[in-house]
Amino acid sequence: MSDSTGNIGQSWFTEFHTPHAGLTLRITEHLARKQSPYQLVEVMETVEYGTLLTLDGMVMLTDRDEHVYHEMMTHVPMLAHPNPKRVLVVGGGDGGCLREIVKHPSLEKVTQVEIDGDVVDLCKKHFPDVAQAYSNKKVELVIGDAIDYLRRYKGEFDVAIIDGSDPVGPAVGLFERSFFTDVHDALKPDGLMSCQIGSPLYSHERIASTLKHWREVFTEAKAYLAHIPTYPSGVWCLGLASREPGGSSAQPNQVRFRTFSESLRYYTLDIHKGAFALPADLARVAT
Amino acid sequence: MSDSTGNIGQSWFTEFHTPHAGLTLRITEHLARKQSPYQLVEVMETVEYGTLLTLDGMVMLTDRDEHVYHEMMTHVPMLAHPNPKRVLVVGGGDGGCLREIVKHPSLEKVTQVEIDGDVVDLCKKHFPDVAQAYSNKKVELVIGDAIDYLRRYKGEFDVAIIDGSDPVGPAVGLFERSFFTDVHDALKPDGLMSCQIGSPLYSHERIASTLKHWREVFTEAKAYLAHIPTYPSGVWCLGLASREPGGSSAQPNQVRFRTFSESLRYYTLDIHKGAFALPADLARVAT
């Protein structure tokens, strides 16, 4: 979630969100550091946020706030969809979206396509709660390139969750228009896609251009926001796109929500609706 | 907005939100540093966020994101109120709330009671846009102790905006129950109060106890959230309290909103409603 990284002293990790601003966290231990074929994967123990995963120096998740991202990426499309049975996750190697997806009683099968097997292995070891759903029988894990994988499927999925990293490194292709066309085509006619986009403070232009691309491909596309303290600026913009009119503004299903609502720490039915309220300056470029 | 502060190298300002996590900003110039009778007031120039005001090392405002705080502190109570003519600001020495308050066509007079005249003077000099309303004829500035001042007034104000710093230093009394009783009594029967509370991540207990106190004094009290990147965790919890039932959940007045909506960069009618949606873990302690 930045373009540079560094350490201040021996026991601090700092992610510079721009060359001029950053979040600095006290660390007590380097738990893992592996250069995979795709990226530098690091796991550290922080005092304030628990265990931290970084890819190429960018914060991907911490124990303390990962639930916000995973609940909002998952339950917004899953509860807006009338009956999600077949789900695709692109990226998401930590397993956090899977943990939330398998809570849905309508689920028959979820396929996750992650390019970097080292991320999966390290998360199973260091984030056992996040990665708990890898042992679930409804979960199929494919280690491979989602861009190639997607082209094989037409009208297959109810929900697609695009949980890639930022558009640097291996995730660059996940922000191109051709990729979103393939996602659109792999969805059933009433299918929904969620996808992380960027910081409403630092990535105004990326948010505007991403939504513009989606609207050329999908029938509807909307941005929504979630409070993720360890991501740049503390709030992150996600998006929801729909093949059919009204799909992205459908009311979340209350009956299904109640089957797992006690497990949730961020998502509520009110948050689902309120998250689509955008600040005036973002609304001017993104609606 | 923290309990400790420090510098990393010569050209960085870091606010440690806890001893283990902080926001670090590159600075190019120290513009002012004055020990007032109440606190250390500093003004610095940052690269990423423009001019920065700190009190005792805690970020109070930056050019880039001050509009979020001031719009949400002001327009939520002012537009929920049926006809705000007489307004009180406690604290708010930078003048940002005043700038927003004077946009309201119904306003007759706003009185601001700020304890520290040095904050006003330094903000007039270094934040001319924020402090612009000090020259407005509807604005009365009182340099003094709001706790003493408030006791003189009963049923006087339509809206009270409590824009103090955090409950350390001179603002400690602004978080005590007796103070809120005085605010309640100084309001007219249909009066509303807004007040900053704390970080939904770091100050869960303060938010819960503050709302509990308010509900013992006011008829209604609700928490709402705003995205302020330079405050700890990037999101801040504000509160709205009402003397009458239904006051804090009143729909914002659309006609009055439209008279100044083009000047706004964060507040919208959708944001007004959406901001009251609290994350599940905060809703469990604060509703």
**pLDDT per residue as tens digits for the range A203-249:** 999 999 999 999 999 999 999 999 999 999 999 999 999 999 999 99
ipTM of the predicted assembly exceeds 0.90: yes
Task: Say whether residue B281 is in contact with chain A using an 8 A CB cutoff.
Answer: yes
Structure tokens that stand for A205 in this block:
């232009």
* pLDDT mean across residues, chain A: 94
Task: Say whether residue A255 is in contact with chain B using an 8 A CB cutoff.
Answer: no
10-residue mean pLDDT series, chain B (287 residues): 43 95 96 96 97 96 98 98 98 98 98 97 98 98 95 97 80 80 97 97 93 95 98 98 94 97 98 98 94
CA dihedral B252→B253→B255→B256, nearest 10 degrees, is: -90
Contact A201 B266 (CB under 8 A): no
Report the 10 Å Cβ neighbour count for B232.
Answer: 27
Contact B21 A49 (CB under 8 A): yes
Per-residue pLDDT reduced to its tens digit, A60-83: 999 999 999 999 999 999 999 999
Q: Where in chain A is the domain with CATH 3.40.50.150?
A: 66-286
Q: Where in chain B is the domain with CATH 2.30.140.10?
A: 4-62
Distances from the Cα of A165 to the Cαs of A169, A198, A233, in angstroms?
8, 10, 16
Residue A134: pLDDT above 60?
Answer: yes
**Continuous H helices in A81-220:** 96-101, 117-126, 146-150, 177-186, 204-217
> Which residue in B19, B201, B268 is closest to A277 by CB distance?
B268
Phi and psi, residue B36, nearest 5°: -80, 175
Q: How far is A156 from chain B (nearest CA, A)?
A: 33
Q: How far is A154 from chain B (nearest CA, A)?
A: 36
Strand partners, A162: A90, A195
Chain B contacts in chain A segment 15-74 (CB below 8 A): 18-26, 46-49, 65, 68
Per-residue pLDDT reduced to its tens digit, A146-171: 999 999 999 999 999 999 977 666 66
Give the architecture-level CATH label for domain A66-286: 3-Layer(aba) Sandwich (3.40)
Contacts of A30 (CB under 8 A, 6+ apart): A42, A43, A44
- Report yes or no: A61 and A54 within 8 Å, Cβ to Cβ: no
Q: How far is A114 from chain B (nearest CA, A)?
A: 29
pLDDT at position A7 = 45
Structure tokens that stand for B20 in this block:
């283990």
pLDDT category of residue A10 using cuts at 50, 70 and 90: low
Residues of B in contact with A268 (CB under 8 A): 277-280, 283
CA distance linking residue A16 with residue A30, whole number of Å? 19
Contact B266 A277 (CB under 8 A): no
CA distance linking residue A201 with residue B266, whole number of Å? 11
CA distance linking residue B180 with residue B185, whole number of Å? 9
Distances from the Cα of B9 to the Cαs of A11, A18, B12, B27, in angstroms?
16, 17, 6, 10
pLDDT at position A3 = 33
End-to-end CA distance of chain A: 24
DSSP state of B266: S
Residues of A in contact with B267 (CB under 8 A): 279-280
CA distance linking residue A223 with residue B264, whole number of Å? 20
Q: Where in chain A is the domain with CATH 2.30.140.10?
A: 4-61
pLDDT at position B10 = 59
Report the top-level CATH class of A4-61. mainly beta
Q: How far is B98 from chain A (nearest CA, A)?
A: 20
CA dihedral A46→A52→A56→A60, nearest 10 degrees, is: -140
Amino acid identity of A106? Answer: S
CATH of segment(s) B4-62: 2.30.140.10
Nearest Cα neighbor of B205 from B103, B285, B111 is B285
Contact B26 A20 (CB under 8 A): yes
- Bridge-based pairing of strands B109-114 and A157-163 is unpaired
CA distance linking residue B205 with residue B224, whole number of Å? 15
> Which residue in B47, B233, B264 is closest to A280 by CB distance?
B264
Contact A267 B280 (CB under 8 A): yes
Task: Say whether residue B266 is in contact with chain A using an 8 A CB cutoff.
Answer: yes
Contact B20 A8 (CB under 8 A): no
Task: Supply the pTM of this predicted model.
Answer: 0.94
DSSP state of A212: H
- Element holding A108 (H helix, E strand): none
CA dihedral A282→A276→A165→A7, nearest 10 degrees, is: 70
Nearest Cα neighbor of B267 from A273, A222, A277, A232 is A277
Residue A276: pLDDT above 90?
Answer: yes
CA distance linking residue B250 with residue A221, whole number of Å? 30
> Which residue in A18, A200, A264 is closest to B227 by CB distance?
A200
pLDDT at position B8 = 45
Question: What would you report as the CA-atom Rg of chain A, rounded to the nearest whole angstrom?
Answer: 18
Structure tokens that stand for B46 in this block:
């940052």
Distances from the Cα of A179 to the Cαs of A94, A144, B8, B80, in angstroms?
22, 15, 42, 45
- Please report where in the chains the tokens 């807006």 appear, as a residue: A80
Chain B contacts in chain A segment 125-164 (CB below 8 A): none
Task: Say whether residue B262 is in contact with chain A using an 8 A CB cutoff.
Answer: no
Q: Which residues of B are identified as catalytic? A: 163
